[in-house]
Chains A and B, each alone.
Chain A
Amino acid sequence: MRTHSQICIYVCVCAAAFSAGAQAQLSAGWTNQPGVKMRSGFSGTLSLKGREGEALVPVTVYRFSIWNRPAVANVKPLSTGLVLVQFQSGEAETVVGGTTNRSGPGDFLLLQRDSSAVFRAASETATFEALVLGGALAETKLPTSHTALSHPRVEKYQQVSGRPLKMQTLASRRVGDFSLEVQDLLVGPSQKTSTFVLPGASVLEIKSGKGVMRVDGHAQAIQGGTIITVKEGQQLELRNDKEDLGLSMHVTIIRSQ
């Protein structure tokens, strides 16, 4: 129940090390740091359509929780990718390039390569997710080394017939040669969608519910915790088999400009 930070934790978002080999090491290392936990990871590839054909972008998802407690051992900053951080719970104070921001649930932070970001829990704990984009996106330069983004929390889901309910969590924004946006999608209890296409290559994280996702006709069981990447232009269908719970998912969408 601590509400006043007295001692901070310093955590670095270390994108370059998020290759498969380093992941385990990093994961183990961070997991062992007092006050910092990396809960789970995901590694996959996004296929983007560009002017020069298809580009493969390694994508990795990390989930962190940090505690408001004495400083932990220093973590070497290694950053060679574009990192999209979304804060999940608690309040966090971030220091990037000398600029301090306070972020809460739903807020985003976009970090370019080599950004040395320091996170500290401004409440008892703070949790956040880091989606690390490598490949062509790794070299993307932002107008500044980072961009703090927040979204309004008053809007409702929007419906387009046959598609899942959609809430635009992060409006589409240009990132170098690409655009990036985040949507929350929702398929209501016992509902299914028609075939639809997302506006780019996407990472879909299932947050709740249980059902089936068809990607170009191929069925895959999904439930809370499932993470799937889909190529740009792939045909999707969603079915929620839960009668009492929405099938919700967090979708990060990237496309070439």
Chain B
Amino acid sequence: MKSAFYSRSEKGVASCGESAHAKKFLKLNFPTLRPHKRVQPIPPVQMSLLDKNVAFRQLLTLANVMEWRLITLKPGNLLDRSGMYVMGLRVLTRPAGRVVSTAVLLCMVATMGCRHFPKRRDPHVHKGGPPLVDNTNLVSPPTLGRPIYACSKGVEVKDFIPGARIDIFIQGNPTPIGGGVSQTSWGQPFDTSVTFDVGQVVYAVQTYEGAKSPPSNLVPVTSYTDDYPSGLPTPRITSIPLLECGRAIAFAGALPGAWVSVFSENPQAGGGFAAPVQIGGTDNAQPDSSYVFVDPAFVRGARISLLSGICTVTSAPSDTVIVQAAPPGKPPTPKMDKVYEGTQIVTVWGPGGNPHPLLNGATIDVFDNPMPGGNHVGGQPTPGGGQQVGIDPAAPASGNHYNATQKLCETSDPSSTVSVTPCRDVPAPIIRQPMPGDTEIDVTQYVPGARITVYVNNNEVGDGGPPAINMIDGSGNPRPLADGEVVTVVQRMGDCKSQWRYVITVGSTINGTTVPTSGDWPMFRNGTLRDGQQHRLTALGDPYTVRKLKVKWQFPPPGQHSVGGVTLRGFRASPMVHGGKVYLGNGNGFLYALDENSGALLWQYPPSGGQALTSQFVSNPSSYGIASSAAFASLDRGDLVIIGAPDQRVGKGLGSGRLIALRADTGAEFWLSPEIAVLDGLTPDSLTERHEQIGYSSPLVLSNRVYIGMADHGDNPIQNGRVAAVSLFDGSVEAGFNYHSTSTRGGGIWSSVAGASGQSVYITTGNAEDGNLGGAPAVNHSLSMLRLDGFTGNINWEIQPVPFSMDNDPDWASGVTLSASAGGDIALGTMKDGWAYAVKAHGGGLVWQFPPTGFPFHPGDGTDLLHGDTRYLIPGAAWNDVFFVTAAGASVTTDQTRGYNRVHALNVFASEQDRVRWVLEVPGTSPGMRYQLGPPTVTQGIVFVGTAQSHLIAVADPSVYPAADCGCSNPDVSVKDCLANGYKLVPKPIILLDLNLSDPGSILTEPVLADGRVFVATDGGTIYMLEPAP
């Protein structure tokens, strides 16, 4: 990580706070509150320990390597261990001698082992390039924070150009009601001259160098009781410990626009405490601005508490915190990040730099041209973590050097001096992969205080600041991106414009896989990535609209339980929505095509009176009929709907599985594959018959092929897991593709195959122990996540957390969720035992395990009995860099059932300590009971999930709507005990919707988010369409 170059690896989740993260810029002369955002350090590069010879051989066998040169040699204690030295190698190519790669080898002399850190340049970063066409009249609209509550007198604005003028308006009134000059590097609170009333609509405008932006998003003023019907949450002090002489305090739990007051009860000589005295506060708390200064400073032994309120309502007081003695002696010497030319913000950390925290409450002072004799150019108290500090004047091109101190009761030694990095070395900003339909660009790394300009096909379409830049066209309307367009981003501070650009093509980064560009939902999990995300901006991305969702139609209509005289069973397949139609298979063996607007039946397959697609071997709901969700495919000859199902017309007529392609408009057969999953007998536990089935596996349509996974009928007996591929054109088996999980039995593919173009397919596999009593099969890919070559079925990589010897049936049944994330492409999944994993999608290395109990497992590690038939079966959803998943969580080793009714939001690119973003105990569900939740889906940070009680729940990630309250990163530890026991406070997301469908069945399928509507199928045999009420 470049020292002053910040990563916003998560989309700004409002933290319930701890002090180990960077705080946003604050000037001493600025009003009380400033943003308080967590800024995650980039995880260290995965290192591979290589034998020295291997490392050298690898380097020298690079294509066209002409020579390598030793460019540095530094013996000594670089890694604080003697006997290590550093070699830098420059690898040159033939014939041009062009540098293609640099690498650093840290070699341990004693063993001659080497650690190889390939230093790869980001392929999206370029210096210079085609001319970029600026539009000096274009300024992006800022983003107005939501919600805005009645009685409040302030708002939060984001996405502005630092230094721009911000004006706040009430719709219908051309006179601004508040505003000011933006100064921070994220969001900023602005006070208003009026108190808001319910029903008003508020927006913001920014003006920069004479150019005025279009209006921001419109935010209606609502009552806080809409979100907090049971009263105000209790504020919490989060910068624990509070230290003597400290002058800042962080908090959580205050509503946007609420007032917060800090009280101190100083200790009395004879014991007890003096009356409380207010020592700090704000009238406009905002989620990204959750700390205030205090004056006078904290006194040792004082009892500190908070109150918050809005309208005439006051919260309960916070828990009190006793001020601790300051550490003896001088505070540790801080460290500054790089200072870039033109910047007005510098960042200071504790000793050693990022991510080491400053002391809670310390006052940070920044000087130019080092002390003594240096000039004080900025400073402020910090609640802890890293601190951005405004400096005045801005860093010049050259000549200045900066250092910083931190002060509690004493002042630290000044930090090492940092000279100004010239403009030519200002890096490119880095953005999240833009997707078709996006109208904003998310900036994930940037220099604090930078202005970000966005170009599409080299023409400027956005000019704003982090965390997102709203793109507009020449008329000021939102400017959606189209697949294949090229986005270029630069950043600037003052007159310095980065010469480095970030250039990226719109679309998925996973080998160029495109995602659906309409609002449809064309296959299970809405795409080959199986990420369960609706990427398109629809009405479901608006928290206010989500609250208005109502059932518009249901199929079959109320009171009916059959179609054409055939009774419906439960729906285990999820709906597929495309082109105005809804396609859904039922456990009764029929596929139904419905009109999306009305729910009217358009056609069914097999037609009325036809042989239902069922099996004569029934073990569990996966084998009753159609459990496989349909997939859409488009050919020149027409649009197709493809399903996998048992079919008694093939094989021995018992219900072998096959793929069936139907015309989307009529339901007529387009092709029928041959027998794919063989069922050639009905004898339970027969070892001479084949009992394969397709079950829940949904077809994957990828590059003119259709892939399907196969498992068995409830391990009765267990079959050899397989993946089959057929031609998309005629359903014939692609003979060149071959994958079997084992050399005997086991490794069933219970879930849908995921895929990425470039012909990579991803699977997870079930257990093998059940079919191999004599020991592990010679070939054993059971209990694994694998990437296969889509042409051959050959294994590209595999991870197997649970060895055969510990196999008590923890099938990996969730399948793979692929995420094109800021830190790389990741394959995610949960095993049945409740552990979740993130794996590099391309290379296959483990990125993390959650919880990180140890990988791989081994006998005697305390988990011997834990890899059994626990029921974490469903896939998760991915959005930005967050994985939403039902997993066992922190208590996996003591009570694996704890996670059955919880949705975990896991930060994909964060330290282990910051893995948990939030945990939701879904209301109305039964703790400890299996099958409580269906697979979650997500759009624009709003997560939808169905429950066993037939409720549809929607919750907002705290980055898109304020949290309901604070929780603990270990949800089995109370908030009160959380911090003191080494865990972290995390937000509890607010529930936007808890809609009881009053269905007799559970919702075990995914809520499909298509065209601004939600489609939910239940185990009771009904599908519901919900859309926002007017």
Residues in chain A within 8 A of chain B (CB atoms): 1-4, 6-7, 34-35, 37, 39-40, 63-65, 67-70, 88-91, 104-106, 121, 123-129, 153-154, 156-157, 159, 165, 167, 184, 186-191, 205-208, 223-226, 240, 243-246, 248, 250
CB-based contact A243/B865 at 8 Å: no
Which residues from 907 to 965 on chain B have a C-beta closer than 8 Å to any C-beta of chain A? 911-913, 915, 927-928
Give the docked Cα–Cα distance between A1 and B770 (Å): 10
Q: Measured between C-beta atoms, what is the minimum distance from B817 to chain A in Å?
A: 20
Given A129-B865, A153-B928, A167 and B716 contact (CB-CB distance below 8 Å): no
Beta-carbon contact of B854 and A157 below 8 Å: no
Q: A89-B870, A165-B973, A184-B894 are in contact. Are A244 and B770 (CB under 8 A)?
A: no
Closest 10 CB pairs of A and B: A89-B868, A224-B862, A188-B982, A244-B912, A188-B981, A153-B928, A2-B714, A207-B893, A90-B869, A189-B982
A165 to B894, CA, bound (A): 13
Give Cα A250–Cα B866 distance, bound, in whole angstroms. Answer: 14
Binds A, one of B35-43, B807-815, B1005-1013: B807-815
Residues of B within 8 A of A126 (CB): 868-869
> A67, A69, A205, A246 — which one has the most chain B CB atoms within 10 A of its CB?
A246
Contacts of B971 in A (CB 8 A): 156
- Residue B614 is within 8 A (CB to CB) of chain A in the complex: no
Cα distance, A205 to B859, chains bound together (Å): 14
Q: Is the CB of B981 within 8 A of A159?
A: yes
**Which B713-728 residues have a C-beta within 8 angstroms of A?**
714-717
Contacts of B913 in A (CB 8 A): 189, 243-244
The reply to whether B714 and A1 form a contact with Cβ atoms under 8 Å apart is yes
Does B629 lie at the interface of the complex (its beta carbon under 8 Å from any beta carbon of A)?
A: no
Q: List, in ascending order, chain B residues with CB within 8 A of A225's CB.
A: 860-864
Q: How far is the CA of A240 from the CA of B970 in the complex (A)?
A: 16
Q: B981 touches which one: A70, A165, A206 (CB < 8 A)?
A: A165
Decide if A1 touches B808 in the complex (CB within 8 Å). no
* Residues A243 and B912 in contact in the complex (CB < 8 Å), given A1-B622, A129-B865, A153-B895: yes
Q: A165-B973, A225-B862 are in contact. Are A4 and B619 (CB under 8 A)?
A: yes
Interface centre among B833, B890, B892 (most CB of A within 10 A): B890
Q: Is the CB of B808 within 8 A of A125?
A: yes
CB contacts (< 8 Å) of A70 on chain B: these are 685
Evaluate contact between B863 and A167: CB separation under 8 angstroms: no
CA distance A105 to B863 in the complex (A): 14
Q: Is the CB of B865 within 8 A of A224?
A: no
Q: How far is the CB of B970 from chain A (nearest CB, A)?
A: 7
B residues within 8 A CB of A226? Answer: 862
Question: Which A residues are CB-close (under 8 A) to B770?
Answer: 67, 69, 124-125
A208 and B972 contact, CB distance less than 8 A: no
The answer to whether the Cβ of B977 comes within 8 Å of any Cβ in the partner chain is yes
A90 touches B809 (CB 8 A): yes
Q: Is the CB of A191 within 8 A of B869?
A: no
- Which has the most chain A C-beta neighbours within 10 Å: B622, B716, B896? B716
Between-chain CB contacts (< 8 Å), 12 pairs: A1-B813, A6-B685, A35-B773, A67-B809, A125-B809, A126-B868, A154-B927, A184-B895, A207-B893, A208-B851, A223-B861, A243-B912
Most B CB contacts (10 A, CB to CB) among A2, A34, A126 go to A2
B242 to chain A, nearest CB (A): 18
* Residues of B close to A106: CB separation below 8 A: 895, 897, 928
- CB of B908, distance to nearest CB on chain A (Å): 15
Assess whether A124 is in contact with B869, with CB atoms less than 8 Å apart: yes
B973 and A105 form a contact (CB under 8 A): no
Residue of B nearest to A34 (CB): B773
For residue B603, CB closer than 8 A to chain A, the reply is no
Select from chain B the residue with minimum beta-carbon distance to A150. Answer: B928
B847 to chain A, nearest CB (A): 14
Q: Which residues of A contact B867 (CB under 8 A)?
A: 89
Per the bound structure, the CA–CA distance linking A33 and B7 in Å amounts to 55
**Residues in chain B near residue A40, CB distance under 8 A:** 859-860, 864
When the two chains form their complex, are residues B861 and A105 in contact, meaning their CB atoms are under 8 A apart? no
- Assess the A105–B897 pair: CB atoms within 8 A: yes
**B750 part of interface (Cβ distance < 8 Å):** yes
Beta-carbon contact of B870 and A105 below 8 Å: yes
Q: For chains A and B in complex, what number of residue pairs have CB atoms within 8 angstroms? A: 188
CA distance A184 to B977 in the complex (A): 16
How far apart are the CA atoms of A106 and B891 in the complex, in Å?
A: 12
Q: Is B852 at the interface (CB under 8 A from chain A)?
A: yes
Q: Is the CB of B852 within 8 A of A245?
A: yes
Indicate if B853 sits at the interface (CB-CB under 8 A).
yes
Q: Please tell me if the beta carbons of A2 and B808 are within 8 angstroms of each other in the complex.
A: no
Is chain B's binding surface mostly helix, strand, loop or mixed?
A: loop
Choice from A69, A159, A191 contacting B685 with Cβ under 8 Å: A69
Is B374 at the interface (CB under 8 A from chain A)? no
Which residues from chain B contact A154 at a C-beta distance below 8 Å? 927-928
Cβ-defined contact, A156 with B813, below 8 A? no
Give the residues in chain B near A68, CB-CB below 8 Å. Answer: 715
Given A104-B928, A106-B928, A244-B915; 9 other pairs, CB 8 A cutoff: A1-B750, A2-B714, A4-B620, A89-B867, A105-B895, A156-B973, A191-B981, A191-B982, A207-B893
Q: Which residues of B contact A34 (CB under 8 A)?
A: 773
Evaluate contact between A123 and B869: CB separation under 8 angstroms.
Answer: yes
Which chain B residue lies CB-closest to A67? B770
Residue pair B808, A153 in contact (C-beta under 8 Å): no
Encode B756-777 as 1/0 by CB contact (under 8 A) with A. 0000000000100110010000
Q: Is B153 located at the chain interface by the 8 A CB criterion?
A: no
Q: Which residues of B contact A89 (CB under 8 A)?
A: 808, 833, 865-870, 896
Determine whether B553 belongs to the interface, using a CB cutoff of 8 Å to chain A: no
A2-B619 in contact (CB<8A): yes
Given contacts A34-B773, A69-B685, contact A167 B620 (CB under 8 A): no
CB contacts (< 8 Å) of A105 on chain B: these are 870, 895-897, 928
Whether B711 sits at the interface, judged by CB under 8 Å, is: yes
Report the separation of the CA atoms of residues A179 and B769 in the bound assembly, to the nearest whole angstrom. Answer: 39
Alpha-carbon distance A127/B748, docked complex (angstroms): 21
CB closest chain-B residue, reference A32:
B773
Q: A124-B715, A129-B865 are in contact. Are A224 and B859 (CB under 8 A)?
A: no
Among A34, A69, A167, A223, residue most surrounded by chain B Cβ atoms (within 10 Å) = A69
Within 8 A of A (CB), among B819-835: 833
Asked if B684 CB lies within 8 Å of chain A CBs, one says yes
Asked if B890 and A246 sit within 8 Å, CB to CB, the answer is yes
Selected contact of B851 from candidates A3, A88, A245, CB within 8 Å: A245
**What chain A residues lie within 8 Å of B766 (beta carbons)?**
1
Alpha-carbon separation in the docked complex, A208 to B974 (Å): 20
Residues of A within 8 A of B685 (CB): 6-7, 69-70
Known: A6-B684, A153-B928, A188-B973. A39 touches B897 (CB 8 A): no
When chains A and B are docked, how far (Å) is the Cα of A189 from the Cα of B854?
15
Q: Are B973 and A186 in contact (CB under 8 A)?
A: yes
The residue among A1, A153, A250 with the most chain B CB atoms within 10 A of its own CB is: A1
Q: Tell me the smallest distance from the CB of A128 to a CB of chain B, in Å.
A: 7
Complex CA distance for A125 and B716, rounded to whole angstroms: 13
Contact B716 A2 (CB under 8 A): yes
What residues on A are CB-neighbors of B863 within 8 Å? 207-208, 224-225
Binary contact readout B150-187 vs A (1 if CB under 8 angstroms, 0 otherwise): 00000000000000000000000000000000000000
Point out the residues of chain A lying under 8 angstroms from B811, CB to CB: 1
Cross-chain contact of B893 among A64, A128, A248 (Cβ < 8 A): A248
Asked if residues A88 and B865 are in contact (CB atoms below 8 Å), the reply is: yes
Q: Does B56 contact A (CB under 8 A)?
A: no
Is B983 part of the contact surface with A, judged by Cβ < 8 Å? yes
Interface string of B694-717 (1 = CB under 8 A from A): 000000000000000001101111
Closest chain B CB from A92 CB (angstroms): 10
Check if B116 is an interface residue, CB within 8 A of chain A. Answer: no
- How far is B891's CA from A248's CA once the two chains are assembled, in angstroms? 9
CA A123 to CA B832, docked complex, whole Å: 13
The answer on a CB contact under 8 Å between A206 and B622 is no
CA distance A205 to B299 in the complex (A): 44
* B-chain residues with CB within 8 Å of residue A127 when the two chains form the complex: 808, 865-866, 868
Nearest A residue to B977 via CB reads A159
Instruction: Give every chain B residue within 8 A of A207 (Cβ-Cβ).
Output: 862-863, 893-894
